[in-house]
Structure 1
Amino acid sequence: MFKYPRLIKMGLNLWPPFLFSGIKISELANDYRYLKVELKHSRLTLNANRTQFGGSIYSMTDPVYSLLLMANLGHKYHVWDKSAEIDYVYPGHTKLIATAHLSQSVLDDILLNTQHGEKYFPKFQFNVVDLEGRLVAKVNRTLYVRLKAAYRKNNNV
């Protein structure tokens, strides 16, 4: 597991794709099982309709579950984003918030399905909400997880 969640959080908040898009990790649990990300509301984050830019809404969820899984699965696993889709439900007129929770049962499921080197594609959903709790967007992400070749019992899988 990554050792320093405070440094990881700070690094992500300084990462140009987040920093220049108004995206901020506001909370990251020490065990990497919970993360809260926010998209600020400012002239720089709005689209032509004066609502939150859809690309930033999408981006705020980009590395989240990959980070949580890499931290919990460790260096023996490849973890990548495979695909994603977004459903814009309501215009974002305020700061937006999304949270990610990684349960032990999800980790157990991933470990079970990758133990012999198989590729596995867990799915995660984000609900992006505004400050009043209204659903602004649903983001579905599919990840790719696989045990690295050096740690597989049968390297031909």
Structure 2
Amino acid sequence: MYKTLTKLAEKVFTKSQIFKSGFNLSPMYRRLTGRIIYTSDDLLDVKIKIPISYKNKNYVGSVFGGSLFSATDPIYMIQLLHILGDDYVVWDKSAEIKYRRPAKSNAYAEFVFTSEEIENIKKDIAEKKEIDLIKKLNITDGEKTVFCELEKIIYIADKQYYKEKRKKKK
């Protein structure tokens, strides 16, 4: 459903506008309390805010750890899907979060890919057909205080290779 809506919206809006509004209006993402506050035109840079509110405060008044984690969970995967295009398969494979200190204020995270990184991903996929990409980010107060460190492993494959691989497993 989301992919179909995106294709329709591309006739009127930029990819950046669709990405930001699509996430922020999606019931799936809205419930997580995170909000996308910035997307670059090329989608290589995405920033989110997790405002502290009654919806995500825990027993001791800080942002619930699950809210911090879940607001960051879908970004890299969907960001890569849009950047790489339809010739690739992208899945979240695993994630690890290390809590460093309670988030007693709004929390922020930035999801960044460089053009070189994207070219290297495409080159690696052309050679190996599939890779596991490791991405790290910090959830902070927007300044220097780190609330959490997050590491994600993202599976990326050539779509044709992926389809053939799945056929062989059946």
What is the distance in 1 between the residues matched to 2:20 and 2:127? Answer: 32
When the two chains are superposed, the root-mean-square deviation of aligned CA atoms in Å is 1.8
Q: Once the two structures are superposed, what CA deviation does each residue of 1:39-94 show, in whole Å capped at 9, x if it has no partner?
A: 01111111112110111111121111112211221100001111000000010000
1:136 alignment counterpart: 147
Q: Once the two structures are superposed, what CA deviation does each residue of 1:16-60 show, in whole Å capped at 9, x if it has no partner?
A: 232122210000111011000110111111111211011111112
Aligned-pair distance for 1:126?
A: 1.2
Which one has the bigger helix percentage? 2
Contact 2:33 2:71 in 1 (8 A): no
What is the distance in 2 between the residues matched to 1:139 and 1:16? Answer: 24
Choose from 88, 95, 98 the match for 2:109.
Answer: 98
Greater CA deviation, 136-145 or 112-121? 112-121
1:64 alignment counterpart: 75
Q: Once the two structures are superposed, what CA deviation does each residue of 1:75-121 show, in whole Å capped at 9, x if it has no partner?
A: 00001111000000010000000001101221122112111462201
2:23 alignment counterpart: 12
What is the distance in 2 between the residues matched to 1:6 and 1:70? Answer: 16
Contact 1:23 1:37 in 2 (8 A): yes
Gaps spanning 5+ residues in structure 1: where?
none
TM-score, normalised to structure 2, is 0.82
What is the distance in 1 between the residues matched to 2:114 and 2:142? Answer: 25
TM-score, normalised to structure 1, is 0.89
Q: 1:47 to 1:30 in 2, by over 3 A?
A: same
What is the distance in 2 between the residues matched to 1:114 and 1:21? Answer: 32
Identity %: 26
1:120 alignment counterpart: 131
Greater CA deviation, 120-129 or 66-75? 66-75
Choose from 38, 50, 65 the match for 1:54.
Answer: 65
Q: 1:84 to 1:105 in 2, by over 3 A?
A: same
**Which SS does the other structure have where 2:90 is aligned?**
strand
Q: 1:52 to 1:76 in 2, by over 3 A?
A: same
How many equivalent residue pairs? 152
Gaps spanning 5+ residues in structure 2: where?
1-9
2:37 alignment counterpart: 26
